[in-house]
Structures are given as C-alpha cells and as structure tokens.
Amino acid sequence: MIKDILMFILMFISSYFIVSIVHELGHVISGLYYGFKLSCLIIGPLGIKRDENDKLKLYIEKNLAFWGGIGGTTPTKKNNASINIISNILIAGPIIQLLFGLICLFVCLYYLNLFFYLLGFMAIGASISSIIPFPQRIGGFYTDGARWLKIKKSKKNGLVELSCFNIVQSYYKYKNYSKINTLDINCLIKNEEPSNQYLGHYFLMLYYKDSGDIENMSKEKEILKNLESKVTKSFIKIYNYKEC
C-alpha cells in the first residue's frame, strides 16, 4: 500500500514537470519558428540561461515565483518582433500543452496506463487554466490567455507587451539595463494600470543604476515605495526594488 502511494506521488511529480516543460517548450518552439533564440528556460529550481558570452548554461533558480516555469526567446535581429508575433508566442504554450494532453488520453484508449492518464488530465487542466483570461495576476503574472486577449482587444495593451519584450530583449543582449530604450519604459509608466506603472519605474530604476545615476535611482525607489500599496505582494516579491 505504501509502495503504491509513493509510486503515485512520484508519477504525479514527474507529470507536473513534464507538463510544465511541454508548456514552456511551446513558447520556445514558437519563438524559434519566428527566428528568435532561446534566452532562458526555467522549470522548478532548474534553469537554463545565456551567460555573458552568449552561451547557454545550467543554473539553480532561487526565486520561487519562477518555479512555475518560464520559457523565453529573444530576437536575433534588432526590432524583428511585432505585436502579432508576441501574441502567437504567448498562446503557443497552452495550445501545445492542450494537444499534448489530448494525445496522452488518446494513447490511453489503446494502452491503459495511470501515468498517461495523469499526464493527459494534468496537461489539459493546466492548459485550460493558463488560457482562461483571469482579470487579476496570479503569482505576479497574468495568464497567457489574459495577456493574449489584452493584446487582441487593445493596441495600447499590445504596445505594453511589446515594450516589456523589448526591455527584456535589450537586457539579454547587453546584460545591462543602461541600454534600455526609455521610450519602452515610458510606455509602461504612462499606462493606467498600477502594475505596469510599477514595472516601468522598476526598469527605470535599474536603468539609472546601471548608468551610474544614483540620485535618480533613489528617486525611482521612492516612487516604487509609493506604488507598493497598489500592486500585489507577489508582484513586489518578483520585482523587489529594495534588493537593488
């Protein structure tokens, strides 16, 4: 009995990691299709990212907020990203995850196996959860479905997503926030959503930090402090200006 329970727990944990990998690979494969390159892949405490020499390396991710999984790709050429490409990359993760789940359940029609049942139902459940456009952030992030819908409903939201993408792209390319285009930062700051304003001021703080402008960096920290009450604690934990 104990052996069966332990085996089920092992299969459940293994299923979670496999399903998470499939989801993030959906984002990555979609990005590679558009000519981007892998910048990071995080599943649980394990991660892959590019170092200062632009080579991929394994590392241990210490931020628990990222353990749910992140699959990131960045353009290989400057400004070859677009709102439509970003929206397609966003939705690719849950769609591929859904297809994977359906395939697993289809296999179970001919080959009864508890592990495939777990994979199938977990993949489908996780896919549906990430597609549902929850109005609030979960663990500091909107679901893929919510972000995709925001892009499709409003050009302004699409520009916010594109600005975030450009900022991350710039950082992974130069390993320095001083190279960020301030127009992308202003796009976030001028947005009416407090979390986007917070994110904009957070990146502006890092911009001043890496530019050696300590005075303006301190001013941005004060602004972030005033914005704390308007965003979730999980969001602040991820983008913690106090650690900078």
pTM of the model: 0.76
Measure the CA–CA gap between 63 and 57, rounded to whole angstroms.
17
User: Tens digit of pLDDT for each residue in 55-114?
Assistant: 888 888 876 667 777 888 877 765 556 788 888 998 999 999 999 999 999 999 888 888
pLDDT at 26: 93
- What is the structure's pLDDT at 81? 66
pLDDT in tens, 132-161: 876 555 555 678 887 888 788 777 888 888
Confidence class for position 197, pLDDT limits 50, 70, 90: very high
Q: For residue 214, what pLDDT is reported?
A: 93
- Residues 219 and 226: their CA atoms lie apart, in Å, by 11
Q: β-strand 36-43 against 70-75: which pairing, if any?
A: antiparallel
User: What six digits make up the tokens of 184?
Assistant: 């992308």
Query: Quick one: average pLDDT of 228-239?
Result: 82
Whether 29 shows a pLDDT value over 90: the answer reads yes
Is residue 127 scored above 90 in pLDDT?
A: yes
User: What's residue 57's pLDDT?
Assistant: 85
* pLDDT at 136 (0 to 100): 57
> In sequence order, which residues have a C-beta less than 8 Å from that of residue 126 and are 6 or more positions away?
19, 20, 23, 94, 97
Average pLDDT of every residue of the chain:
85
In sequence order, which residues have a C-beta less than 8 Å from that of residue 241 and are 6 or more positions away? Answer: 202, 205, 220, 221, 224, 225
> One-letter amino acid identity for 104?
C
CA nearest neighbour of 146 among 131, 157, 161: 131
